[in-house]
Amino acid sequence: MSCSPTLRCAPLLLTLAACQSTPRLSTEHVGSVTEVAGTLPGIHLVSPVPNGDWRLPSGDYANTRFSPLAAINSSNVMNLHVLTTASTGVPHGHEGNPLVVNNTLYVVTPFPNNLIAIDLTKPSGAIKFIYEPHPDPRSVGIACCDVVNRGASYAGGKIVYNLLDAETVAVDAETGKEVWRTRVGNIDIGETTTMAALVVKDKVLVGSSGGELGVRGWLVALDLDSGREVWRAYQTGPDRDVLIDSRFHAFYKKDQGKDAGVTSWPGEQWKLGGGNIWGWVSYDPELNLIYYGTGNPGVWNPDLRPGDNKWSCSIVARNPDDGHVVWAYQLVPHDHHDYDEIMENVLVDMDWKDRKLRKLLFHPGRNGFMFVLDRQTGELLSAEKFQDSTNWASGYDLETGLPKEDPSKHTGGGRIVRDVCPSSTGGKEFVPSAFSPRTGLLYIPAHNTCMDYEGIEANYIAGTPYLGADVRMFPGPGGYQGELVAWDPVRARKVWGVREEKLPVYSGALATGGDLVFYGTMDGFFRAVDARTGAMLFQFHTGSGIVGNPMTYLGPDGKQYVAIYAAIGGWMGAVAFPDVSADDPYAALGVVGAMTEIKKVTGPGSTLYVFGL
C-alpha cells in the first residue's frame, strides 16, 4: 500500500482512525507546523517544525530539532521497542540522521556516501533504491575525523547532500537517479565536505571541511535545479572574497574595519587560514538571513599567526540570495585552543529579560560558553559557562564582545600548557542541541574533557595535516565526562543535567511534543528523558556507540516512530576502531587520552534503529 501525504491519499487516510487525529497539511510545508500546542507564552517559532515528515537536516530551518509529535510521551515511552533495523554496511561514524519524505526514509552513509531509500509502506522497510556515487577514495586519507557525513536536505523532489571528496549531488527522491553533481572543492589541497547541505529557497548551501589541513574556509551556494555555483564566500581574505560590502554592520568595534580577513593575519597566512564551515547552517525566513559558525584558524599553533585571525571562530549572518554579509561576530579572536565554533545556531523569538520579544540566536559554544545573540544585529546578550570546568576565560565582556581570558591558558610554541578546559573537542562538539517551545529549554549534549597543549613547528604541505600542536586530552574534573544539559537561555542557567561517567555525549538531541528528550551515548545506549526533570524514562542498548541525531516521524499508518543511527565514529568515536592504538594519548589529534575506555564498551557498527510503541 502506498500512501503519500497528498490529497489523493486523503480518502484512504480518513478510513484510519490514527490518521484522523494527526491530519497532515497539503501546503508546501507538508508535514510541518509553526503553531505548537503547549508553547509557552513569549515564545515564537521562526520556521515550521517537522510534524510527520523530516525534510531538513535539523527538521526545521531554525535548528530547534523539535517535533510536536506527542503520541510517544512520558506515559508510554517505557513501552518503546525496536521495530526494525537496517545495516548500511559501512562501519564508520554515522553522524546526522535520516530524512523521511512521503513515506520514504533516506539514509546517507559515511564514505562511500551511498543514499539508501527505504519504503516505509512495505513490511520491515524494503529498499526502494540505493544510489552509489563512488567518490574519490583518496578523500578518505584527508578527512580529519573519520569519513563522516552529517546529513541531507529534501527540496524540489531531490535529496541533496555532500560527498566526502568535495562534491555535492542532487538525487531524484523517487527514482534514485542522479540529477546533478557539482565539484565544490579540491581534495588535493585537503578540502572535503562533511556538513549537511541546507537548501534555502532555490539554493543549496555547502561549506568546507579541512581546518586541520590549512584549508581556507568557504561557503558556496549552488542552484537547486542545475547545481551551478551561484556565489562563493570565503571566510578569510579581502572583503570582496568574504562578500563584505557597504551593507555590512558588525555590532562590535573589534569586528569592524576593511579587509579584516587580511589585516588580522601575518603576511599571506590567511590563504591557509581555516574558518571552515563543517557544522550546521540555520535560516530565518522572516529576516531572510542564514547563520552559521566558522571553525578554527589554521594553523593550531597560535604563535604562527599573530592577529585576530578573522573570520575564524565567528558567527556570520548572510543574505542567502547573493551571500553578502550582514553582520559577523568573532567569538574568540586569535584562538589558542582549536575551539571551532561551527556549532548549531538555534533561532527562536523569545521574551528577553526586559520582557520584550527578541529575535534570538542560541549558540552553545565549543569553548564552553552558552552564547545568546540578537540575531538582527549580532549583539551579544549573554555568555555563561555551561560546563563549570571551563577555565580558558572567566566570562565575556558584553560591552566589547571580548572574552576575559586567562593568559596562563594561552598556548604557544615551546611550552606545554596544562589543564586547559575544555579540550579542543569542546564543551560540546558539533552534535546539535534541541529546543522545546513547551519548556523554553535548550538541551545541550555536553562534554567535560580537558587537555595539555604544546605548540610545535608546522610545515604546510598541501593535502597533509597542518597542525603545529601536540595535544593530549583527558576527562575533566568531577568524575564525569559527558552530560545532557537542560539550559534556560533567558536566565542563563542550567536547570538539570544527566551525566555520563566515562564518555562524552556525542549524539544530537531531539525534543518532542510528548515532553521527551531523546539522545544516545557513546557506549550505545539510546535514551528518552523527561524534558522537564531529566528523569530517565527509557533506554535501550544498541549494538554500537551513538554519534548520530535522533529524529521522529509519522509512518504511513499514522503512528509515531523514532529513528537513530548506532555506529560509533567521528573524531572522538574513531578511537573505538582497530586502526587507532589506545597506548598513544596523542593519537587522533590528541583525543585518545580521553577515550581510554571506549574500546571496552563499544565497537564499530552500521545500523539504523527504528523504535515505536
- List residues near other proteins by CB under 8 A: 137-145, 212, 456-457, 459, 461, 463-467, 470-472, 574, 577-590, 592
Strand partners, 73: none
- β-strand 229-234 against 218-223: which pairing, if any? antiparallel
Which among 571, 574, 596 has a CA at the least distance from the CA of 585? 596
3-state helix, strand, coil in the chain (%, to 5): 10, 35, 55
Q: Which three cell numbers stand for residue 270?
A: 590567511
- β-strand 560-566 against 66-67: which pairing, if any? unpaired
> Is 367 known to be catalytic?
no
Closer to other proteins by Cβ: residue 179 or 467:
467
Which residue bears the cell 556570520?
Answer: 316
Q: How far is the CB of 132 from other proteins (least distance, A)?
A: 17
- β-strand 510-512 against 66-67: which pairing, if any? parallel
Which listed residue (97, 296, 367, 549) is catalytic? 296
Burial of 127 (0-12, 13-18, 19+ CB in 10 A): exposed
Residue 158's CB: how many other CB atoms inside 10 A? Answer: 23
Q: How far is the CB of 135 from other proteins (least distance, A)?
A: 12
Q: How far is the CB of 274 from other proteins (least distance, A)?
A: 14
Q: How far is the CB of 578 from other proteins (least distance, A)?
A: 7
Which residue bears the cell 529498499?
Answer: 127
Residue 400's CB: how many other CB atoms inside 10 A? Answer: 12
Scored b (16 or more CB within 10 A) or e, 571-591 reads bbbbbbbeebebeebbbbbbb
Which listed residue (146, 167, 212, 483) is catalytic? 212
Which helix or strand (DSSP H or E) is residue 362 part of? strand 357-364
Closer to other proteins by Cβ: residue 210 or 293:
210
Closer to other proteins by Cβ: residue 301 or 542:
301
Closer to other proteins by Cβ: residue 40 or 456:
456
Please give the Cα distance from 139 to 147 (Å, whole number).
8
From residue 112, alpha-carbon distances to 92, 135, 164, 188, 444 in Å are 10, 6, 8, 18, 30
Residue 384's CB: how many other CB atoms inside 10 A? Answer: 18
Residue 406's CB: how many other CB atoms inside 10 A? Answer: 12
Closer to other proteins by Cβ: residue 120 or 142:
142
Q: How far is the CB of 450 from other proteins (least distance, A)?
A: 17
Q: Which three cell numbers stand for residue 414?
A: 615551546
Which helix or strand (DSSP H or E) is residue 21 part of? helix 17-21
Q: How far is the CB of 467 from other proteins (least distance, A)?
A: 5
Closer to other proteins by Cβ: residue 146 or 341:
146
Closer to other proteins by Cβ: residue 398 or 461:
461
> Is 296 known to be catalytic?
yes
Closer to other proteins by Cβ: residue 51 or 139:
139
Count H helices, E strands: the chain? 7, 41
Scored b (16 or more CB within 10 A) or e, 352-380 reads beeeeebbbbbbbbbbbbbbbbbbbbbbb
Which listed residue (146, 338, 429, 523) is catalytic? 338
Please give the Cα distance from 59 to 34 (Å, whole number).
12
Closer to other proteins by Cβ: residue 145 or 562:
145
Q: Are 56 and 541 in contact (CB under 8 A)?
A: no
Q: How far is the CB of 403 from other proteins (least distance, A)?
A: 28
Collect all residues with Cβ–Cβ distance below 8 Å to 589 and sequence separation of at least 6: 144, 145, 212, 424, 467, 471, 571
Residue 389's CB: how many other CB atoms inside 10 A? Answer: 18
Q: How far is the CB of 392 from other proteins (least distance, A)?
A: 21
> Is 379 known to be catalytic?
no
- β-strand 346-351 against 126-131: which pairing, if any? unpaired
Torsion of CA 213, 218, 222, 228, to 10 degrees: -70
Closer to other proteins by Cβ: residue 302 or 570:
570
Catalytic residues: 212, 296, 338
